[in-house]
Amino acid sequence: MLATLPNLSLDGGGPWQEAVVASHAMDLYLGCGPPLPLSYCPSPPPDPWNLERPRFCLLSKEEGTSFGFHLQHKLGRAGHEVCRVEPGTSAHRQGLRAGDQILAVNNSVVEHEDYAVVVRHIRASGPRVLLTVLARHVYDVARAQQGNDAHLCPVLGSGVRPRLCHVVKDEGGFGFSVTHGAQGPFWLVLSAGGAADRAGVPPGARLLEVNGVSVEKFTHNQLSKKLWQSGKQVTLLVAGPEVEEQCHQLGMPLAAPLAEGWALPAKPRCLHLEKGPKGFGFLLREEKDTDGRLGQFLREVDPGLPAEKAGMRAGDRLVAVAGESVEALGHEETVSRIREQGSQVSLIVVDPEADRFFRMVRLSPLLFLEVTEAAASPEATNLTSPGETQNQPVEHKAGSPGLPGSCQCFLYPGPGGGYGFRLSCAARGPCLFISQVTPGGSAARAGLQMGDMVLEVNGYPVGGDSDPERLRQLAEAEPPLCLTLAARSQEGLDAWIPPGSGEDWALASDLL
């Protein structure tokens, strides 16, 4: 159990802000919401309650709700663990269980990723997410037999994924016919060189969705009516024979969050802004769209200023800041995320047409970022402007000569005055550790990670009874803040954890 000692919250509100860590393990809540009839299973469907092998849980949620499970990461234990599932929710109905370890989110393997990366992938998935999970006892046995570096997660091969294809009718129609019985599943027969062929629909593809609606249980008449109502263009979710066969072998559902986009009519845009003498040059407002849903919209884009030069247009809706989804955040928190980036910021936006399209197909636009745009995200670039080092100095790491294997981080307050991390104490054992890192903040840019062990703060060794008072005094210290961190390794982590205290290391997390 974590001690109720004064802990240091450095995520805003001044360089040092006191908080008290709860005396029980808090967990990451991914909420609850009614299920949506949009899951596809190969025939015969895999048994979701077979806990002896990886399982696939396709979860869905409505606007403003969440998926129905709690996720927790514990220091000293590998994996990302589901600690509670809410009864009657999508997670419960899809067979997710407490103790399940998350191996992959959609087609991204996360079993060896940081906890924050797992959260980022789930948030970015939008209203539907496919989780690959393994029961805790099976996970522990596999790790013991194969080692911590082994990959336990089955994934689709390169380029073998369902396709989301936008088909525009020409003089030959949509360019496909449907093979069918009384009702689905349906397979498509293409006209060579026709509209569907040009839109990337593979020959012999199985039809899964039309305009975001599952047609797996439609009758032929219902499908014909749905296609007729689409007018001159339609968006199809399809799976070619190779994809269908591989998913069948893996027991994996043909899920929409796995899809790659082909000939889509709209896409998200990644804007990279560098603040000028007059600021970024745009206004962020919380408004309702035409369907009455709240969002963060970009307005009053000033001509000639950085926002317009980066390609921002009035009416764009903000989807992510520094690669982190902000769709579930309120206005003040979204503004804080932007300010935390300092003089350079990366925003992902959609225009009204793209917004309507991705809401129709019920998929997050973040799933369809161009590879080049994803590579240019803040995870791969330095957000600190060399020309503004007087206001926002560059953080850096260096080896510490006095402590073999350790390293030092020098941090400067961000625009909001905070360093962007939270420091917590364990009840037993001489240890301070990083329990939270704010994405895009000073600590994140310096490379701090949740779980890093702190050996010294501004040259003072930690681990004694005088730690709380000494750390309070650092509130008046001049920047930079210097942290000496233990070597980041599983062996080093195990050495810091007192025997029998594994449960003491459950970390608090944000509510998603």
User: Which residues make beta-bridge pairs with 425?
Assistant: 432
Report whether 233 contacts 137 (CB < 8 A): no
Secondary structure (DSSP) of 45-86: PP-TT-TTS-EEEEEE--TT---SEEEE-BTTS-S-EEEEE-
Report the pLDDT value the prediction gives residue 346, as an integer from 0 to 100.
92
Largest CA distance in the chain: 81
Tell me the average pLDDT of the chain: 75
Report whether 387 contacts 301 (CB < 8 A): no
Report the pLDDT value the prediction gives residue 256, as an integer from 0 to 100.
95
Name the more confident of 20 and 158. 158
CA separation for the pair 453, 426 (Å, rounded) = 11
Report the pLDDT value the prediction gives residue 239, as an integer from 0 to 100.
95
Runs of H (alpha helix) within 40-150: 90-93, 115-124, 136-146
CB-count burial class (<10 Å; 0-12, 13-18, 19+) for 382:
exposed
Q: Hey, what are 73's tokens?
A: 């990461």
Going by CATH, does the domain composed of 400-505 fall within 2.30.42.10? yes
Per-residue pLDDT for 230 more than 60? Answer: yes
pLDDT 10s digits, 101-114: 999 999 888 888 88
Report the pLDDT value the prediction gives residue 501, as an integer from 0 to 100.
39
CA separation for the pair 129, 135 (Å, rounded) = 19
Nearest to 31 by CA among 84, 68, 70, 82: 68
Under DSSP, is residue 307 helix (H, G, I), strand (E, B) or coil? helix
CA separation for the pair 9, 22 (Å, rounded) = 13
Give the mean pLDDT of 479-487. 79
Name the more confident of 64 and 318. 318
Percent of the chain scored above 70 by pLDDT?
Answer: 68
Q: Hey, what are 151's tokens?
A: 């990959």
Report whether 350 contacts 358 (CB < 8 A): yes
CA separation for the pair 268, 367 (Å, rounded) = 9
Q: Hey, what are 205's tokens?
A: 């593809």
Under DSSP, is residue 467 helix (H, G, I), strand (E, B) or coil? helix
**pLDDT tier at 33, thresholds 50, 70, 90:** very low
Contacting residues for 460 by C-beta, under 8 A, at least 6 apart: 470
Considering the domain delimited by 31-146, tell me its CATH architecture: Roll (2.30)
pLDDT 10s digits, 62-83: 877 889 898 876 655 667 889 8
Cis previous bond, 44, omega within 30: yes
Report the pLDDT value the prediction gives residue 300, as an integer from 0 to 100.
93
CA separation for the pair 361, 350 (Å, rounded) = 15
Q: Checking DSSP bridges between strand 186-190 and strand 176-179, what pairing results, if any? A: antiparallel
Name the more confident of 76 and 21. 76
Which helix H or strand E contains 223, and what residues bound it? helix 220-229
Contacting residues for 9 by C-beta, under 8 A, at least 6 apart: 17, 18, 19, 422, 423, 436
The CB density around residue 179, as the number of other CB atoms within 10 Å, is: 12
Nearest to 128 by CA among 36, 251, 40: 36
Annotation: CATH topology of 269-362+369-386: Pdz3 Domain (2.30.42)
Report the pLDDT value the prediction gives residue 77, as an integer from 0 to 100.
64
**pLDDT tier at 241, thresholds 50, 70, 90:** very high
The CB density around residue 495, as the number of other CB atoms within 10 Å, is: 11
Per-residue pLDDT for 344 more than 60? Answer: yes
The two domains 163-239 and 269-362+369-386 share their CATH topology (first three levels equal): yes
CA separation for the pair 51, 89 (Å, rounded) = 19
pLDDT 10s digits, 177-206: 998 666 778 999 999 999 999 999 999 999
Nearest to 299 by CA among 309, 320, 284: 284
Going by CATH, does the domain composed of 163-239 fall within 3.40.228.10? no
Secondary structure (DSSP) of 156-188: PPTT-S-EEEEEE-BTTBTSEEEE-SSB--EEE
Secondary structure (DSSP) of 246-271: HHHHHT----GGG-EEES-S---EEE
Cis previous bond, 253, omega within 30: no
Report the pLDDT value the prediction gives residue 405, as an integer from 0 to 100.
61
Percent of the chain scored above 90 by pLDDT?
Answer: 37
Give the mean pLDDT of 57-64. 88
Parse the chain into domains and list their residue ranges. Answer: 31-146, 163-239, 269-362+369-386, 400-505
User: Which residues make beta-bridge pairs with 9?
Assistant: 17, 422
Which helix H or strand E contains 361, and what residues bound it? helix 352-361
Report the pLDDT value the prediction gives residue 262, as an integer from 0 to 100.
92
Task: Find the range with the poorest average confidence among 137-141, 170-174, 207-211, 368-372.
Answer: 368-372
What is the amino acid identity at position 353? E
Task: Find the range with the poorest average confidence among 72-86, 239-253, 428-442.
Answer: 428-442
Per-residue pLDDT for 227 more than 90? Answer: yes
**Whole-prediction pTM value?**
0.67
Report whether 98 contacts 227 (CB < 8 A): no
Report the pLDDT value the prediction gives residue 83, as an integer from 0 to 100.
85
Give the mean pLDDT of 383-402. 36
Report whether 394 contacts 409 (CB < 8 A): no
Alpha carbon distances (Å) from 351 to 283, 315, 354: 16, 7, 5
Task: Find the range with the poorest average confidence among 16-20, 39-43, 90-94, 132-136.
Answer: 16-20
Give the mean pLDDT of 336-343. 87
Contacting residues for 228 by C-beta, under 8 A, at least 6 apart: none
User: Which residues make beta-bridge pairs with 454?
Assistant: 432, 485
Give the mean pLDDT of 453-472. 71
